[in-house]
Amino acid sequence: MLTRLLALAAVAPGLVAYGKKAPGRAACTIEELFESSVSPATEIASSTDANFSSVVGPRWSAWEAPAWSGAIKPATEADLQKIVQISVENNIPFIATNGGHGPKQGQGSFTGININLGSFNTVSIDTANNLVTVGAGVKLWDVQTGLYNVGKEIQTGNSICPGAIGVTIGAGIGMMTGMYGLMIDTLKSVRMITAKGQLVKASATENSDLFWAIRGAGVNFGIVTEATYGIHDQTNEGNVTAVTFVYAAASNRTLFETMKTFDGNQPAKLSFQTVIQFNRASNASQIVVQLWYFGPVSEAQPYIDTFAAAGPVVQSVTYLPQTDLYYQSETAGVCDRGHIISAHSLGFNQTVVSSYEAHFADMTAFYITNPSFAGISVFQYYSNKQTLKTPASETVFPWRDIQVWWLTQNQYSDASLGPQVDKFMIGQRTNLQTTSGFDTPHVYFNYAFGDEGAAAWYSAANLPRLRKLKSIWDPNFVFGNGAPLY
């Protein structure tokens, strides 16, 4: 897919000039190409312009960063339509971004323009009908706080800074998955720009095939400018029991055995994640467990006691509003920008203690051998009982039977360590797959490294239908960088 996009570029390396070159006329600049067709409020900059950094969408990770040749920040949907039309007509590749949290293998060789969706940042809440409508520039934090302030809630990812719609079209997992399912399960409708620059609507009753496709594979079909979701009344008056445990390396097996007791019977209101990390001060690995219960401490106490019995060296219990909760997650580091961070991921439907032990030992050895490696390995546990209530046929996302979501945040300061990190983590992914409980890899696209392939992201069963829809809505592969269907 990436190769095909690059082949479309009809300009010199670096894309410092744009447009179809007429006889006797040099290709024009990005400003000259787009400025006359969009509103004055739309911002445009070449990568060499002084204002480029304020126009381009900021990126979370420095790993595999695209070589943007220019950036455009559209002010309106009509502007965005024109930008897509002109880009396609002039064979200029582009990637639309908001939170910038979607690094994938191969994007470092991408050369084209960034479409920064940051201006589409409105949140409209309809409490009477339990609906919220958000723009493409809205972050999860905007949704979380807006709803909290009116006594409502919605399932989202665990951090505050990724783009809400970007998280959604990959499926959208998080602390409330056990209560309400995935973000795509509460999605009601979208407005989006197609490869022809057309503005279309999609829902269960309008362009229903397209609506099916974007719920799990949305990056392949267009730019979603606005999304409407169903929302819920606040649970426990918006308060959550949050518990942090820290375990020494010697307790790893006992802890993993404790985690296994939740296989298949995890309560809807209970979510937790375990984070393998290395303490450079003590020169030893440790495991941090964060437990979240959407109810009072008294209801959460049995689960607190279960983890306490595994022998943590640190235990902290807090009772806090949902809006504070998202700052407490160990994975809140996705809001720190500028580091070299890649990710690997896999889904499990069982906890195999011996496999977790081996992974812990391998991680420890890798930490010791590579002092500049500061990454973490995370096992996220969300009940899938609510998720399984949505028929798999209603959305592209196929892996509703996942009950453990493994991901890594591979952070390192020495860029030359990258190949070694990738080799090690791919080996860990292969090892963990053998005991995942699934015959084929089940990969959550939003966490994916990028090499797993379409069958791992969307399932082999969904590919024929997806490819047929691709041929209808985007036959020239304008969209889908880093997420190919072939």
Going by pLDDT thresholds of 50, 70 and 90, the confidence category of residue 18 is low
For residue 42, the model assigns a pLDDT of 98
* Two tokens, residue 278: 């290395």
Residue type, 435: T
For domain 237-458, the CATH class is alpha beta
pLDDT in tens, 282-337: 999 999 999 999 999 999 999 999 999 999 999 999 999 999 988 766 666 678 88
For residue 177, the model assigns a pLDDT of 97
Rounded mean pLDDT of 140-157? 96
pLDDT(17) > 60? no
pLDDT in tens, 210-265: 999 999 999 999 999 999 999 999 999 999 999 999 999 999 999 999 999 999 99
Counted residue by residue, the chain has a size of 486
pLDDT in tens, 433-477: 999 999 999 999 999 999 999 999 999 999 999 999 999 999 999
Do the Cβ atoms of 168 and 184 come closer than 8 Å? yes
Selecting from 3.30.465.10, 2.60.120.560, 3.20.10.10, 2.40.160.10, what CATH number does the domain 2-116 have? 3.30.465.10
Question: Which residues fall within 8 angstroms of residue 451, CB to CB, at 6 or more apart?
Answer: 105, 426
pLDDT(15) > 90? no
pLDDT(12) > 70? no
For residue 387, the model assigns a pLDDT of 94
For residue 334, the model assigns a pLDDT of 76
Rounded mean pLDDT of 332-352? 90
Residues 372, 420: Cα–Cα separation, whole Å: 12
pLDDT(75) > 50? yes
Query: How crowded is residue 224: how many other Cβ atoms within 10 Å of its Cβ?
Result: 25
pLDDT(478) > 50? yes
pLDDT in tens, 172-188: 999 999 999 999 999 99
Residues 135-170 as b/e (b if ≥16 CB within 10 A, e otherwise) read bbbbbbbbbbebbbeeebbbbbbbbbbbbbbbbbbb
Query: How crowded is residue 371: how many other Cβ atoms within 10 Å of its Cβ?
Result: 13
For residue 205, the model assigns a pLDDT of 97
Going by pLDDT thresholds of 50, 70 and 90, the confidence category of residue 392 is confident
Rounded mean pLDDT of 85-100? 96
Average pLDDT, the chain: 93
For residue 332, the model assigns a pLDDT of 63
Do the Cβ atoms of 300 and 241 come closer than 8 Å? yes
Domain ranges of the chain: 2-116, 123-234, 237-458
For residue 6, the model assigns a pLDDT of 26
- Considering only CA atoms, which of 450, 275, 333 is closest in space to residue 60? 333
What is the CATH architecture assignment of 123-234? 2-Layer Sandwich (3.30)
Going by pLDDT thresholds of 50, 70 and 90, the confidence category of residue 28 is confident
pLDDT(353) > 90? yes
pLDDT(72) > 80? yes
pLDDT(45) > 50? yes
Rounded mean pLDDT of 39-68? 95
For residue 482, the model assigns a pLDDT of 87
For residue 19, the model assigns a pLDDT of 54
Q: How far apart are the first and last CA of the chain?
A: 8
At residue 146, φ and ψ (nearest 5 deg) are -60, -45
Look up tokens 């829902």; give the residue. 203
- Considering only CA atoms, which of 416, 282, 442 is closest in space to residue 349? 442
Q: Note the pTM of the prediction, 2 decimals.
A: 0.93
Q: Report percent pLDDT > 90 for the chain.
A: 88
